[in-house]
Amino acid sequence: MLEDKSRWNKKYLEENPMPVEVSKIVEKYVNHANIGQALDVACGTGRNTHFLADLGFLVDAVDISDYALSKVKKSSTITKIDSDLDKYNIAPGKYDLIVNTNYLSRRLMSQIKDGLKSGGVLIFETFILAHGDFQHETMNLDYLLRKNELLHSFIGLDVIYYEEKIDTNLKGERVKIASIVAKKL
């Protein structure tokens, strides 16, 4: 855990640019969720957390980086949770909205489904294995989705939107991403 915390703190301190604007997918699809309790998984410095709190959500913002969490504003509507996501557990049936962007923990996928209340909405977007299509430094493949994996991981939810596409990251590099917005019936 300390090794992961140090690595993520270093990433937030040194890697630039880091995203600061709300994720486009969150901004576009948040209206499908009832205002209530939200979870921002791997919230980073709080770009989605702040957006959700400003809309009226009570947000649990979880991340391993205490440096990143220090950038999340203090608010009565935001609960900061400093936790290793390899050990963190999502409470069942608690959330009206769960947001997960640019992070993958397969261990949490079933917990995310279970963590939604009836009528709760999931907004999830992260990277897909590019199979050598793009020349990026080698990443741990455990943190990259396979084709259609995100869709299959949330079978049983009512899919509002799903897409796998080529996009451009903040460094101007081409990347593959998968996005899903789904509702628990």
Q: Residue 15: its pLDDT value, please?
A: 65
pLDDT, one tens digit per residue, over 93-117 is 999 999 999 999 999 999 999 999 9
Segments forming the whole domain that contains residue 65? 2-183
Phi then psi for residue 96, to 5 deg, are -85, -25
Report the candidate in 172, 152, 159, 45 with the shortest Cα–Cα distance to residue 102.
Answer: 45
- Would you say residue 121 has pLDDT above 80? yes
The angle subtended at Cα 52 by Cα 48 and Cα 55, nearest 5°, is: 145
Higher-scoring residue by pLDDT: 153, 20: 153
Q: Which long-range contacts (CB under 8 A, 24 or more apart) does 131-137 make?
A: 133/174, 133/176, 134/173, 134/174, 134/175, 134/176, 136/173, 136/175
- Would you say residue 131 has pLDDT above 60? no
Strand ordering across the sheet containing 37-41: 78-82, 58-63, 37-41, 95-101, 116-127, 174-183, 158-168
Q: What is the mean pLDDT of the chain?
A: 90
Strands (E) across 64-142 are located at: 78-82, 95-101, 116-127
Residue 18's CATH number: 3.40.50.150
User: What are the residues facing 162 on neighbouring strands?
Assistant: 180
Share of the chain above pLDDT 70, in %: 85
**How many distinct structural domains can be found in the chain?**
1
8 Å CB contact between 66 and 50 = no
174-183 and 116-127 strand pairing: antiparallel
Q: Residue 14: its pLDDT value, please?
A: 66
For the segment 175-184, the average pLDDT, to the nearest whole number, is 96
Q: What is the pTM of this model?
A: 0.90
For the segment 141-164, the average pLDDT, to the nearest whole number, is 93
Quote the CA–CA distance of 108 and 177 in Å, as a whole number: 19
